[in-house]
Structure 1
Amino acid sequence: MTMALQGRYYCFTIVVRLNQIEVAPAAYLGFDESTENTPENLKKFREAIAKAIPEARITIAFSHSALADASGNYRELRRLAREYAQKYGDDITYVAGGYFIGAYVPRERAKAHIDDALALLEKMMGKGYKPRSVIGGFLPAAILEHLAARGIHAAQGNIFSQYYVDNQDGEGSICYPYYPSKQHFCKPAQNAEDFIDCVNFDGWTVDFICASYCGCTPEGYNSRMGCGPIETLRPYGEKTGTEIMLDTVDQMLGENYYRNGNFGLAASIWELCLMQKNGSHAMDIDGDTVYGFFSALKERYPDAEVVTIGELGESFRRENKDNSALDYRFVHKGTGKGGSLADVQITWYMNDVFRMALKKNLRTGEERVIDFTDYTKNYSEPADSDYLKGESNRSWSLLGDINQKGLRPQDTPVPFGNLTEKQKTLFFGKIKDENN
């Protein structure tokens, strides 16, 4: 298999905000984080990355309120971001609606919020400034289309496998970059009429075995365990938590790098407030923690580049004019840490027309299809939400024929031979050589 885009990449984003969730500008839910988003914390964070990997370029995303707040604290945060853009080449951008703008705001109003934020960014960064990407958690297809119309052609707009976590569900996408469909942000575009010219990225790489769980299991396994600090450093401590994050990087940049034609990508988004000692999220991260992870990443993969989502999106667009060449494949054996069970192996096939996962019990040899999502079918997103009117829809998932979370009777795992003829036709039409 040959992929046009090559290299090992890690995309890292710092989020700066006033409150945990901005339902709309100046309308908040969750923790007040204004005293935890400080210039001192940003300096510790960014300088630790630079110490470990001097050439690293990261994304720094400000919420609407963090862009507009007139306090000295936030003015200094914005000044530092300008400095880092000039010094390191960082992409300074906007995080929409505390990650889940579609759950809280009607699409047309969300577009207006984005336009306001882009104007604030231009005021902050200088005349003519435009970010190379926007951060969104989940971004509805109409919002991705609006970004493309504004000349922004990359976004962190999906969260692979997220279900029953953080007040929002958006399971159903592939985990590597793709052009989204106008029907649903989780669906890869199928043709020119369906195409949105804004490359959609996952924000947090997770362990594939953990990803098959629904939320947090009775055993205490977290479906989001991977490169994010909340699911690793907080429950397991700095040493083991860092090992888990590096294991998840290995999942993408190790053997699967070769399966994907010498292409590998891992990503994570860390909120600035997590750096606050005794903060509301009880993380106790410091500069040494950040330095330890990034220096270990560089030692393990000297050729890995830490780049912005916008930069990698531009590279993807140069090499791929549509989704037809996408053919991502992964094999992951559990690490034995947390929910990544050592006797389980997951194999994923992800492309423009389907995604399929096989789960294998390494003790018995039994293997079953736990996910088959047919992207050639028609799908739709929920109607508009308006949280301020009491109308909020958290269910933005695209659940296919069989879904890895196992929530519906039809999600019962089946042997590969029991797939329908259409499913087999899709598989063998795309996968010419199973040994690749």
Structure 2
Amino acid sequence: MAATEENPLLSSTRASDTSPQVQLHPLVLLTVSDYITRHTLRQQPGPVVGAIIGQQNGREITMEVAFEVKLIAGDDGEVRIDDAWFGERLEQYKTVFKSPPLDLVGWFTLGAPAGPAPHHLAIHEYIQNVHNETALLLLFHPESVLEGNATGGKLPLTIYESLWEGGVGNDKATSMDIDSGTAGQGKQQKFRELTYSVETGEAEMIAVDFVAKGGGNATDVDQARKASVAPSNNGSKSKSKGKAKADVENPELAEDSVPLTAEDEELLASLTAKSNAIKMLGARINLLQAYLSELPPSYLTDSQIPQTKNPTEQPNHEILRAIQALLSRLPLLAPPDRALFAREAVQQRADVELTNMLASITGSLGAASELGKKFAIVDSARNSRRSVGGIGGPFSMGGRAPFDMDGSGGGGFFDAPIGGGSAAYVSPGEGRVFPGRYR
């Protein structure tokens, strides 16, 4: 029953045509995310509260820059904004952002998806009474991030506008009270959810790209602590037991410590972005398919179904028209002549395969050339060794000298040739070889 209870601070009326149109910039999201991360890791006390500045032109409100806010504890124990510090910091931001001029348009904090809580009213009323009476509230939902509910491209945040309502909750009466200056007399301040769109500038695109590239080098803090504690534990074990076996290193930790170059980081960031985009596209296609499969059958597609004037389940025609418009744009993305497109695709594929084959043949020729060079070196070394100590050398008769050391004959010169063939006359003094017949 508690889960179905409505938030008393939420208005029962929906956003009308006169409601503000909010444009949210990614720089605000980066600031909020960075503030929450530092606040959590440093274990800082107190809530997360910050201000948002932007432009307001009629009903169009832009949220462009956000910054942290210094909080102090009041006499009643409630957390409030330091007025002097906040006024000085706001003037500094106005001085920096002069063209175009930015002013306070809202503030952000953490909250549940159910809506604002009573402790948010004090800060919201202070901002309305002192700085901007039409300030908006950006409520970030950390529970949605932890539980993994922020899927399908929906950001885990909600933007609210405040209004004064009585017991009836008439929107026209409320707007008349605000114009006449009688708002708040016997009425209660409530919040109404607004729709928003995400707008990105050139500078923000560079910042988001830098953050996406830096995300490839992010490491887990707990994992780093475990890796630093492991050597100390091994050292204590080695001191207590001299013959203890060395602990085997974890291969996963070793793989994570491999340094990446700038090209690898850029490639990793690009592949990660493409993977996330494909996953998001697949999730949305599955969602549309599930929605269409759950629709009741219609007599327009099946003639056996009887036509009823008041069907029990009415489909959402707005969603169906959007799906039909999406399907009607698909032929614009596909080529008009599919046969020609398929032929060109086959030709490009053949060119790629031919290029790969030529590269493979070139590599094989290079390897064969290297093999030929090595074979020539080995063959020349073998021939030179054979000419020095083999059959074709100066000591041709079995490699023996023509005379012994004492000068007497005993070498290969006085031996009969093999098979009665011809021999060579070797001059002992000069070592020259003269062809002749041994008799």
TM-score of the superposed pair, with normalisation by structure 2:
0.28
Q: Larger Cα Rg: Structure 1 or Structure 2?
A: 2
**Structure having greater relative contact order (Cα 8 Å, sep ≥ 6):** 1
Of Structure 1 and Structure 2, which has the larger fraction of its residues in helix?
2
